Amino acid sequence: DRIFVGQGVGVLALTGLSVVFPIMIIMMAFGMLIGMGSGVRISIFLGKKDFASAEKVLGNAFSLMIITSIVLTIVGFIIKEPLLRLFGASDDTIGYANEYLNIILFGTMFHMVGFSMNNMIRAEGNARIAMFSMLISAGTNIVLDPIFIFVFGMGVQGVAWATIISNFILCVWVINHFRSQYSVIKLRASNFRLKRSIVISIVTIGFSPFAMQFAASFVQGLFNIQLIKHGGDLAVGAMGIINSVATLVVMSIIAINMAAQPIYGFNHGAGNFVRVKRTLFICLKAAVIVSIVGFALMELFPSLVIKMFNARDAELLAIGKRGLRIFMAGLPVVGFQIIVGNYFQSTGKAAISALMSLLRQVIVLIPILIFLPTICGVNGVWVSAPISDFIAGIIAFTFITREIRRLNKAINQGAG
């Protein structure tokens, strides 16, 4: 979306989308609360061969998605103007932000159901179908973006409609999957009635990724506010580019997490701690490699990265290059943190996972982000992220080292 908006509409439109980004993160947070929480519960029940309980979780999760998406849509329309201002919209960018958000809010339900239920497809072990689902959605979006912008001249509204249509297709696809022969569990109307114990179990497990995403929204809004104050609209636009690029790397690591989640849950439920440990080590190695490769590309080719989004604005290029290099300095340890947090969440240790997420996103980062720019200006905004990443990485290492010792003890006891 941002590549096509930056090239086809302009820098201010790109900044407008960057302002909407924290609101979209909030929507994703609720999707993770339900999708990942229910996904873990489904994996654990399937590991125990308890298909009836897994289907009850699926049905309750579906009802939660519908209710939550309706509430988010209504509340979003009521408070969107103050939210956009809060997250850094200026008089020059709020028009673009409003155009985009008005359409996105109408599609909240499609996004919620599609994203969350695709996670449940992975949870039941159908990783290839889940991957194909996302490819269909992403492919539709990529095809429609240039058509709506360059052929029909719809601007940011065209990008929003492309997103809604692709999410709708994903929504229909995942619902159909759980009504088909390819799913080991079925979406049944008899399980739609919410049960307190099931809802609590979903929310408890899903709270960690929810907290991480919700905190990310608040932090992104704070980034925008500080960038507007110390660098102006162009700095916010540069941050939008940096976030997009960082998301490419982080989503690669999240993909590893999503593939590992049902393996963790299934084998933890079955008491196969050898496979749990092996999966953890494989994921850690893969995430560190992805992080280091991503870091190297950002440091070596920053101009090329920025020009992908806008090749005409020299000032944006200068701000973006410097910001990208500084902001991405902590990337080598980010993958490690994400894998560790997901491990604790997927094995039912939601409190530890939530604590780790909040340490990086809130407890460590926010004080640095508030005070450092008063001394270093816009450079203080950029450098706050890697400082936080390295501190949180040390804490994550401490937690996972202790957990590996616990796994080794459980494995030795099982062998004995």
Read off the pTM: 0.79
Neighbours of 236 (CB within 10 A): 29
Percent share of the chain, pLDDT over 90: 60
Q: Using alpha carbons only, give the angle 153, 110, 140 rounded to the nearest 5 degrees.
A: 45
User: 103-139: per-residue pLDDT in tens?
Assistant: 999 999 999 999 999 989 988 888 889 889 989 999 9
What integer is the mean pLDDT of 245-266?
Answer: 85
What integer is the mean pLDDT of 151-159?
Answer: 93
Judged by average pLDDT, the poorest of 12-26, 209-223, 303-317 is 209-223
Percent share of the chain, pLDDT over 70: 99
Which token pair is 45?
């029940």
Instruction: Write a three-state SS string for the chain.
Output: CHHHHHHHCCHHHHHHHHHHHHHHHHHHHHHHHHHHHHHHHHHHHHHCCCHHHHHHHHHHHHHHHHHHHHHHHHHHHHHHHHHHHHCCCCCCCHHHHHHHHHHHHHCHHHHHHHHHHHHHHHHCCCHHHHHHHHHHHHHHHHHHHHHHHHHCCCHHHHHHHHHHHHHHHHHHHHHHHCCCCCCCCCCCHHHCCCCHHHHHHHHHHHHHHHHHHHHHHHHHHHHHHHHHHHCCHHHHHHHHHHHHHHHHHHHHHHHHHHHHHHHHHHHHHHCCHHHHHHHHHHHHHHHHHHHHHHHHHHHHCHHHHHHHHCCCCHHHHHHHHHHHHHHHHHHHHHHHHHHHHHHHHHCCCHHHHHHHHHHHHHHCHHHHHHHHHHHHCHHHHHHHHHHHHHHHHHHHHHHHHHHHHHHHHHHHHHHC
- pLDDT at residue 107, rounded to an integer: 94
Are 244 and 2 in contact, with CB atoms under 8 Å apart?
A: yes
What integer is the mean pLDDT of 357-381?
Answer: 89
pLDDT at 415 exceeding the cut of 60: no
What integer is the mean pLDDT of 71-91?
Answer: 93
- pLDDT at residue 351, rounded to an integer: 79
- pLDDT at residue 411, rounded to an integer: 85
Residue of 345, 243, 328 whose CA lies nearest to 291? 328
User: 19-53: per-residue pLDDT in tens?
Assistant: 998 899 899 999 989 998 999 899 889 888 899 99
- pLDDT at residue 416, rounded to an integer: 43
- pLDDT at residue 195, rounded to an integer: 95
- pLDDT at residue 413, rounded to an integer: 80
Judged by average pLDDT, the poorest of 284-298, 343-357, 394-408 is 343-357
Question: Chain-wide mean pLDDT for the chain?
Answer: 90
